Amino acid sequence: MVCLGLPGTALAAQCSVLIVGDSLSSGYGLASGTGWVDRLNARLKKAAPAWQAVNASVSGDTTQNGLQRLKPALARQHPQGVVIELGGNDALRGTPPQVIRDNLRSMIRQARAAGAWVVLLDAPVLPNYGRAYAEAVTKLYEDLAREERVARVPCFVCGVGVKAGMMQADGIHPNEQAQAAMLDAVWPVLKPKLRCPAK
């Protein structure tokens, strides 16, 4: 398969990027088709028409859940890329940062072993367990991305979380108005990867 996704290049069979996330990516509380992953697919149709995003996100998932689901999803979808957006629910439960790190590292390595590139999205961390815990969780994403040499998007929801009118009533989940900004935070890191090798 030859799949070159940007405008002006040859278009052949479909390439895919697998989104493995939690409620921030599954569209929790949003009207169907309005989440950032849905908007990503709409953008891909114009900017990289050989590509599609496959949303394997499940509301409530932790990094352990994602690790359990990733291998079957890779075998089923055979994606060229994987976006990992997990850890927020771990942080809400006070999961030790080392456990989060180990689970994410295993996911990264599984994805690369399957021939996919990886983009890691930082999880938002609420101050429930104190500043030291929040800083440790935040830092593990930076360290892990550097150690595993994968692309990283710093907290892609933090920008909307501080703006009025961008959150749902629970104060945790971004609303429909926030989804475009969430995609805009991810797109600059994702766009350069939209090339498929010949197969």
Look at the chain and report how many structural domains it folds into.
Answer: 1
Q: Is 7 a domain residue?
A: no
Among candidate residues 16, 23, 25, 57, the one labeled active-site is 23
Inter-residue contact 84 to 107 (CB < 8 Å): yes
3-state secondary structure of 69: helix
170 is an active site residue: yes
Mean pLDDT of the chain: 91
What are 147's two structure tokens? Answer: 């150690």
pLDDT band at 195 (very low <50, low <70, confident <90, very high): confident
Please give the Cα distance from 21 to 121 (Å, whole number).
9
Please give the Cα distance from 180 to 134 (Å, whole number).
26
Backbone angles phi, psi at 52, to 5 degrees: -140, 150
- CATH number assigned to the domain comprising residue 102: 3.40.50.1110
Among candidate residues 22, 57, 90, 173, the one labeled active-site is 173
User: The whole model's pTM is what?
Assistant: 0.91
Please give the Cα distance from 103 to 98 (Å, whole number).
9
Q: Is 1 a domain residue?
A: no
Please give the Cα distance from 128 to 154 (Å, whole number).
20
What are 80's two structure tokens? Answer: 């060229």
What confidence score (pLDDT) does residue 197 get? 55
Q: Is 2 a domain residue?
A: no
57 is an active site residue: no
Burial class (CB in 10 A: 0-12, 13-18, 19+), 12: middle
| Of 108, 72, 105, 66, the residue nearest 86 (C-alpha) | 66
- Percent share of the chain, pLDDT over 90: 83
| Straight-line distance from the first to the last Cα atom of the chain, in angstroms, rounded to the nearest whole number | 4
Please give the Cα distance from 124 to 172 (Å, whole number).
9
Question: Of 41-55, 70-84, 155-169, which range is least confident?
Answer: 155-169
pLDDT in tens, 105-151: 999 999 999 999 999 999 999 888 999 999 999 999 999 999 999 99
Look at residue 104 and tell me whether its pLDDT is greater than 60: yes
Q: Is 4 a domain residue?
A: no
Structural domain for 18, as ranges: 14-196
| Of 75, 79, 98, the residue nearest 87 (C-alpha) | 98
Locate tokens 């309005």: which residue?
34
How many other CB atoms are there within 10 angstroms of residue 110's CB atom?
Answer: 17
Q: Is 9 a domain residue?
A: no
Q: Is 8 a domain residue?
A: no
pLDDT in tens, 22-53: 999 999 999 999 999 999 999 999 999 999 99
184 is an active site residue: no
